[in-house]
């Protein structure tokens, strides 16, 4: 029984090695088909053969070679398979960004050979990762996932002095608890979320966490320009009647012009 297990294990290793070798040979032949002439209109590039999650080791069987217009080739596009796939015995390169099937493999989206991949690789220039405490109520019921953008609202005070104010807008979520995969869309009740902020915004968040409760407001996918928002107090929303206008009390008005003066006059 032990010999059979060893045989099955060796067979599995052989099949995996053969698959990787066959994939590499196929990619090499596909790459040779595309023109390498510097004056040619097309150039061979490496693309993702299927979705590649953040941190995934780059292997030949997950890649494809295709022709790409040389004039539209973006900076950092990988055109040489040996630059991307590790030779036998070498540590692999890893994805520092999640990539979709058919997406160009860019140098900015992969690590060096053997380089450790962490959440740091997802940060933009001169930004920081900072964690804030949340719960089901303050984190949109668990529907906030890595890659989402949120506004952060501070609630503080008590009694009639209770107030809320939006302190940061359009902040990117880069991690929920220990999860940083932007391909994940499963809601979960988190205890912390990690956000991408500037150094100045990190100071704002540090003070705000001590001052009161932070809530997240999930944004839509549009890129609307944000405007500063005034704080709102409990007394602003506590009123004797509903904020909906009462048609019975509505009064008609007419606009009267006298020479250069314009006046709105109520009509009973």
Across residues 116-127, what is the average pLDDT?
Answer: 82
Of residues 49 and 140, more confidently modeled: 49
Confidence of residue 89 (pLDDT cuts 50, 70, 90): confident
Of residues 262 and 95, more confidently modeled: 95
Of residues 164 and 123, more confidently modeled: 164
Across residues 159-181, what is the average pLDDT?
Answer: 85
Residue 117 · residue 93 · CB < 8 Å: no
Token digits of residue 125 = 């220039």
Task: Choose among 144, 142, 147: nearest CA to 119.
Answer: 147
Q: What share of the chain is helix, strand, coil (3-state, %, to 5)?
A: 30, 30, 40
Task: Report whether pLDDT(209) > 50.
Answer: yes
Q: What are φ and ψ of residue 105, in 5° steps?
A: -85, 115
Confidence of residue 12 (pLDDT cuts 50, 70, 90): low
Cα–Cα distance measured from residue 72 to residue 159, given in angstroms and rounded to the nearest whole number: 61
Helices (H), 136-240: 199-211, 234-237
Q: What percent of the chain has pLDDT over 90?
A: 21
Task: Choose among 147, 194, 156, 190: nearest CA to 175.
Answer: 194
- How open is the CA angle 92-98-100, to the nearest 5 degrees? 105
H or E stretch covering 132: strand 128-133
Of residues 112 and 32, more confidently modeled: 112
Cα–Cα distance measured from residue 66 to residue 30, given in angstroms and rounded to the nearest whole number: 8
Token digits of residue 48 = 């993702």
Residue 44 · residue 33 · CB < 8 Å: yes
The most confident of 34-48, 126-140, 241-255, by mean pLDDT: 126-140
Q: What are φ and ψ of residue 7, in 5° steps?
A: -65, -45
HSE-up of 51 (CA within 13 Å, CB side)? 7
C-alpha distances (whole Å) from 42 to each of 37, 70, 104, 161 are 9, 5, 15, 67
Bridge partners of 11? none
């Amino acid at each position: 029984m032990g010999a059979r297990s060893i045989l099955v294990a060796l067979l599995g290793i052989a099949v995996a090695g053969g698959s990787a070798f066959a994939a590499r040979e196929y990619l090499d032949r596909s790459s040779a088909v595309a023109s390498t002439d510097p004056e040619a209109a097309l150039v061979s590039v490496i693309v993702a053969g299927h979705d590649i999650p953040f941190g995934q080791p780059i292997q030949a069987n997950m890649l494809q070679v295709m022709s790409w217009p040389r004039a539209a080739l973006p900076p950092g596009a990988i055109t040489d398979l040996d630059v991307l796939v590790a030779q036998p015995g070498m540590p692999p390169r890893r994805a520092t960004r999640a990539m979709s099937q058919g997406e160009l493999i860019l140098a900015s989206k992969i690590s060096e050979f053997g380089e450790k991949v962490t959440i740091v690789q997802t940060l933009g220039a001169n930004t920081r990762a900072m964690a804030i405490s949340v719960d089901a109520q303050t984190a949109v019921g668990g529907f906030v996932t890595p890659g989402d953008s949120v506004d952060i609202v501070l609630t503080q005070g008590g009694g009639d002095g209770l107030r809320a104010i939006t302190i940061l807008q359009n902040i990117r979520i880069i991690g929920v608890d220990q999860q940083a995969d932007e391909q994940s869309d499963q809601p979960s009740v988190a205890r912390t979320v990690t956000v991408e902020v500037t150094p100045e915004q990190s100071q704002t968040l540090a003070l705000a966490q001590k001052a009161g409760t932070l809530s997240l407001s999930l944004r839509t996918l549009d890129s609307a320009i944000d405007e500063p928002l005034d704080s709102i107090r409990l007394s602003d929303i506590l009123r004797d009647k509903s904020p909906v206008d009462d048609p019975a009390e509505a009064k008609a008005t007419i606009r009267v012009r006298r020479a250069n003066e314009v006046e709105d006059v109520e009509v009973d």
